[in-house]
Amino acid sequence: MASIVQFENVGLRYGSGDETLSDISFSLNTGAFYFLTGPSGAGKTSLLKLLYLAQRATRGTVRIFGEDAGALPRTRLPGFRRRIGVVFQDFRLVPHLSAYDNIALPLRVAGVSESDIEAPVREMLAWVGLTDRGRAKPPTLSGGEQQRIAIARAVIGRPELLVADEPTGNVDPDMAERLLHLFDSLNRLGTTVVVATHDFHLLNRIPNAHMMRLEKGRLNDPTGALRNPPRGAA
């Protein structure tokens, strides 16, 4: 099975402090489902930032879609980012755009014509249970509603890699399960999914999911399974 992401001895340091991430090595199988867990401050968001190309590693090699992310020229970043869907921990919705326009954003950025945008956006709004909130601006939505818009925006472009940072932190258990089901559906269609979460109830919901655990900036991988994933897994 091909891997979509490979980290080799990756380290990340913000400014001049200690390393936030150290000696991270793993690879992600194409089409698999991963949970990333760990205590607050362990570096989950930092690791995901490396994944969605918002940050460059200070050492080691990050390979994404088979290419060295550290060596990618700026001009090639947009093309890579369009293949990655991201649910940010802080949502990052554009506040002056309606929920509808926020969800449509990735398609518009990719140059999809307006006539081909409406149907998928409506479908996504329905999926996250916000059909009647399409015109609302994010500041007028509840935290959970904003989170669902953020998820809809991340998945609408059918990304090859979906990275979700605490995507169920603000919703009730029923909605959390529903959203997870959305990720699972996407995963069955071929998307590789990485979900960072504190929510242990979710972990059992995806039977085939792999677990990654971060502690104090190091990946807990005693068996080395993440580093050299068993063939045919997932």
Ligand X SMILES: Nc1ncnc2c1ncn2[C@@H]1O[C@H](COP(=O)(O)OP(=O)(O)OP(=O)(O)O)[C@@H](O)[C@H]1O
Residues near ligand X, by CB under 6 A: 14, 20, 38, 40-46, 89
* Least distance from ligand X to the Cβ atom of residue 177, Å: 21
Calculate helix-pair angle for 173-188, 143-155, nearest 10 degrees.
0
* Least distance from other proteins to the Cβ atom of residue 44, Å: 17
Please report whether residue 59 would count as binding other proteins according to CB under 8 A: no
List alpha helices for the chain, DSSP H: 44-51, 77-81, 99-109, 118-127, 143-155, 173-188, 200-203
Please report whether residue 124 would count as binding other proteins according to CB under 8 A: no
Please report whether residue 147 would count as binding Mg ion according to CB under 5 A: no
**Residue 86 binding partner per list ligand X, other proteins, Mg ion, none, with a CB distance cut-off of 5 to 8 Å that depends on partner kind:** other proteins
Among 38-46, 121-129, 136-144, 199-207, the segment contacting Mg ion (CB under 5 A): 38-46
Strand 84-87 with 161-165, pairing: parallel
Strand 59-64 with 3-12, pairing: antiparallel
93 touches 77 (CB < 8 A): no
Cα 120 to Cα 30: distance, rounded to the nearest angstrom:
25
* Beta strands, E only, 30-83: 33-37, 59-64, 67-68
**How many other C-beta atoms lie within 10 A of the C-beta of residue 44?**
23
Please report whether residue 45 would count as binding Mg ion according to CB under 5 A: yes
* Least distance from ligand X to the Cβ atom of residue 218, Å: 12
Cα 189 to Cα 195: distance, rounded to the nearest angstrom:
17
Please report whether residue 135 would count as binding other proteins according to CB under 8 A: no
Binding mask 79-118 for Mg ion (x = CB under 5 A): ----------x-----------------------------
* Least distance from ligand X to the Cβ atom of residue 46, Å: 3
Where do contacts with other proteins occur on this chain (CB under 8 A)? 52-56, 74-75, 77-82, 86, 88, 92-97, 101, 104-106, 108-111, 114, 153
Chain positions contacting Mg ion, by CB under 5 A: 44-45, 89
